Every structure is written in structure tokens, then in C-alpha cells.
Amino acid sequence: MEFLTRFAKDYVRHASALMKQSQEMVARGLNPAKTLTPDNSFVMDVTSSLTAAFREAVIDPSKVMQDNSQLAFRYWQLTQNVALNLLRQPVDPVIAPERSDHRFDDEAWTRNPLYYAIAQMYLINSEYLEKLTDDLDGLTDDNRRQLNFMMRQFISALAPTNFFITNPEAVRKCRETWGLSVVKGLENFYRDIMRSRQLLNVSMTDDQAFEVGTNIATTPGDVVYENRLFQLIQYQPTTEKVHQTPLLIVPPFINKYYILDLTPENSLVRWLVSQGHTVFIMSWVNPDESYRETTFEDYVQEGVLDAMGAVEAATGERELNTIGYCVGGTLLATALAHLKKTGDNRVKSSTFFATLLDFEDPGEIGVYLNSATVKALENYIEKIGYYDGRFIALSFSSLKENSLIWSYFVNNYLKGEPPLPFDLLYWNSDSTNLPAAMYKYYLREMYVNNKLREPNALTIADTPIDLSSIDTPAMFISAQQDHIALWKSTYAGYQLFSGEKRFLLGQSGHIAGIVNPPEPGKYGYYMNDTEADTPENWFDGTSHHEGSWWPNWQDWVSKFQGKEVEARIPGDQELDVIESAPGRYVKKRIF
């Protein structure tokens, strides 16, 4: 009786919330977007790839016929297996999912004849479609990459696990909760609809479980400088003595800086402070339409160069060490080339985390960055004055659609489960907008035209940019499974520099390969101090090391950190404390 009472209360509570959300949706209206979204532009641009694929299939139908024969054979095998399954005979799958594919882990996919047949048909058809696109000859690299990407999105979207009736876990959950899971799923769906703009933004984590400055981004520090583009945080020392040379971190302006300060256990910032560094980090503004005319050059001059000047004012030290992460590294390298041209040698060392400088192969994100799509993107952001950060997040999530989109779709909507609290996913969903002028320049000059690698092809602050002129000691740290900044592409950027340099390859991906603290010893890294002509040849000469690369970097940077001096307290030099870390800028969210 107590269970029924509690269940009834839960049902009424969630049903009432669902009804309220439905009324709010109707009151607000869900009119289709009148502006062209980036994703619409991509759909419009796939026609050339489809046309090329059809042409190749007509010209040489032999491989298509072979693929069709293989498909027929697979279905003949499946027919036999289903018959045996109906007789409760053990059968091996005609085709097994990949080890990393956990969509079909539930035992119903093998024990229940209907679900067994559905799963096998899906996997057989998926194999057929993938092989069909791979076997088409005569496609350009762009057409092939776009066609493969589009086919994979189509296959992933039509997985039986994404539909209630053909998902045994969702059906079982509905039966066990007497339908309450369906009500909760609709409530989750409507909540996401209400917070989305133009496209459904599926929640990945419980946004209410985290607060910046309370349980993430908690390393003690103070904002000591700010302008319209960034706040500069100086962290409190935890050692009696610190290294003479301060350290400036330039994070990406896509997402927030606190990926490097998520929790105390995973915080690179906290670890750097414990090593005796006087650490400064830039916290970029989350721009709106008023930043429409802000340029890439502004991000270099009013961003990186102003931050360097502020570090000098805060410490009294002209020289400094620097770290750039992802596009922050692209900014840093541009600033270094500018400083080199002007004869400014204040930077003693530079470190680049997962940084692209040569954009010839940007990876799968290139499907969104061909000339036609970029033109549509430019038209879109010109209308509103900025690029909505949630579109960027969705674009990157689509590169790993099953783990970053569909798994949450199933969990939240079909099973009616609340998204679990996860600090990394909270950061991932805390997107930032990008100014129109800056982003248009970055897309076209870096990704499309790839001019940054060409000596003197770009001009910043009246100085031609030549990365090959940079002889500042540099260390490049990339990640082996990085799908955003492919490590072989980052190696091409490393080759552009002159002077002392080192390339290190961490295991795992774009985040975990960088945020890899020493204590857990989770991922290792590869080292080879000899530069090779190709990334493959470099890797062949590497040695593998267990554990985090952080101590290895500390050994390297120790040559540039200077003598020990008294610990510096924020506000004890020319710059006054404006407010406590993490500051105001990082707390502005997109809604």
C-alpha cells in the first residue's frame, strides 16, 4: 500500500510537470527557425556528394552487385539462425557489433527471437551501406569523407535502440514502472525542447549538480585584470617559494577555461601551482551580438598580448612561460610570430596542447568546413552577429554521435532516466558564442585556405605572420585518439617551428589525453626527441612511458623557470584584485 501511494504521488508530480511544460510550449510557440542554421546548410551541401556517388555506381556497377550478393547471403544466414533461435537453439550472430558498441548488450538481443532478428537486420544493413560507400571509386576526398559521415549519421539515427518499441530495455522499464518512465521521458524531452534553440539539445548531465566556483573551478585565486575580451586570474601560491618566471595559460575561446580546473583531483591548474609556478589563466568573455566586429587580430592583441603585459604588471617579471590549449594554442603561436617580428623575446618557452597550426587535414570536422558550407555559415553568423556556441557543441558531438547524442536520447527520453551528474559533461555543455568577424576569419583563413602555415600569408597587428621564424623553445603535447585536433596534423604544425622543440603524444583523446593527472596513472604517453619527416616515422621511433606526462613536462620547463623567489600574492604588485576567482566572465551561460 505504501508503495502504491508513493508511486501515485510520483506519477501525479511528473504528469503535472509534463502538463505545465506542454502549456508553456504552446504559449511560447515552436515556430520553425527563419534563419539558415549551420546544420541546414550542411544538408543542402551534400547533394554534390550524393550526385558523385550515384554517378560512380552507374559507371561501375560490379562492386555494387558484389555487395548486393553479400547482403543476400547474410540474410540467408539470418533466416537459418532465426529458425534455430525460435527452437531455443544456441546460435552465433551472423554479424557481431564492435566491442566498443554497447547498444546491444542487453541479453534480450540474443535470447528473444524478435529482438535478435531486429538487431541482426540492423547490423547487416549497416555493414552493407558502409561497404557500399567504401567501394565507390572516383570520388574526391571531400565527397568521400562527407558521404561516409552522412551515411554513418543515417545508420546511427536508425538504430533500433533509438525507438521505444524496438528497445527492450525501454519496454521493460515501462512495464516495471507502470508507464511512469514514459511520463518522465516526455518530461525530460519537453524540458530540453524549452531550453533548445532551433535544434533539440539533448541534456548530457544534471546542470543543477554543479556551480562554477562552488564545486568546480575551485582553485583559490583572484581576477587581477580585465578588459572587454577576458579576465586574467592569478592563483594563490601553495608553496613558500615560487619560480621566478610566471606561467600564462591561454585556453580555447570555445568552451570555458575551467576544463583545466574541474575538480581538485583533476585540476592541472592546482597541480601547476603545487609545482611552484605563479599561474595565470585567461577567462574569455562569452560574447553576444555587440561583439559582431571583434576580429581574430583583437583576440591576439587585446587578448594574448594584453595578458602578457598584465602578467608583467602583476609580477614585475618581463619574461614568462606560456601554454596554449587547442585554438588557444593557435592564438598563442600567432602572437609568438608577431612578437618575433617585432624583436620581442619575452616568452622563454611555449607549450601547445592539442593545437592545430597546419589545417590541411582537420579530421572529420572537415565535413562542416568545405567552401560551400563555410559560405552558408558566414551568411548565418552575419545575420545575428555571432556563432551560437551550441551549434559548435552539436557539431563536435556528431563526430561521436552514438556516445555523445543517441545514448543520452535513449537514457533521457526512452527510459525516462535523469541525466547523471558529470563534471566533464557539464563543462562540455557550457558553450561560448564566437564573434562574427573573428569566426569568419578563423574558418576561412585557417580551415579553408590554411594560410597560417604559409610564411607571411597573414598579417596581424601590421606584422606578417611566419611560424617558421619562431625559435622560442617549444613543446607540443597531443593526444593519440583526439578526433578534434588529429595528432598527425598537430605534428605538421610542430614541424613549422625552428629552434629547440619536443613532441610528446599522450594516450586517449582531446580532453583525457591532456587532463591526465599523475595519481591515477590511467594513461601513458609516447616520446621521441628526434624529429622525423613524417608523424608515422616519428611514432616508429617512440618509447612508451607509463603514467601522466605532466612530470615529464615539468622536467622540461624547469630549464626556463628561473630561480626561486618569495611566493607572490595576487594584488601585491601593480595590479589590484578585482574579484575572487573564477570571476564574472566564466559564469555567463548561453540560454
Q: Is 174 a catalytic residue?
A: no
Q: How many degrees, rounded to 5, is the angle at CA 515 between CA 512 and CA 518?
A: 110
| Residue 270, SS3 per DSSP | helix
For the chain, how many helices (H) and strands (E)? 22, 17
Report strand pairing: 525-527 vs 501-506: antiparallel
Please state, in angstroms and rounded to a whole number, the distance separating the CA atoms of residues 461 and 338.
8
Contacts of 252-255 with CB under 8 Å at 24 or more apart are 252/325, 252/326, 252/327, 252/328, 253/284, 253/299, 253/327, 253/328, 253/331, 253/432, 253/434, 254/326, 254/327, 254/389, 254/392, 254/431, 254/432, 254/434, 255/389, 255/427, 255/428, 255/430, 255/431, 255/432
Task: Find the catalytic residue in 314, 323, 326, 484.
Answer: 326
Q: In sequence order, which residues have a C-beta less than 8 Å from that of residue 224 and are 6 or more positions away?
A: 232, 233, 234, 310, 314, 570, 571, 575, 576, 577, 578
Please state, in angstroms and rounded to a whole number, the distance separating the CA atoms of residues 484 and 505.
15
Please state, in angstroms and rounded to a whole number, the distance separating the CA atoms of residues 28 and 118.
40
Q: In sequence order, which residues have a C-beta less than 8 Å from that of residue 250 and are 6 or more positions away?
A: 282, 303, 304, 307, 322, 323, 324, 325, 328, 329, 331, 332
List the one residue out of 56, 53, 18 whose CA is nearest residue 189.
18
Please state, in angstroms and rounded to a whole number, the distance separating the CA atoms of residues 119 and 126.
11
Enzyme catalytic residues: 326
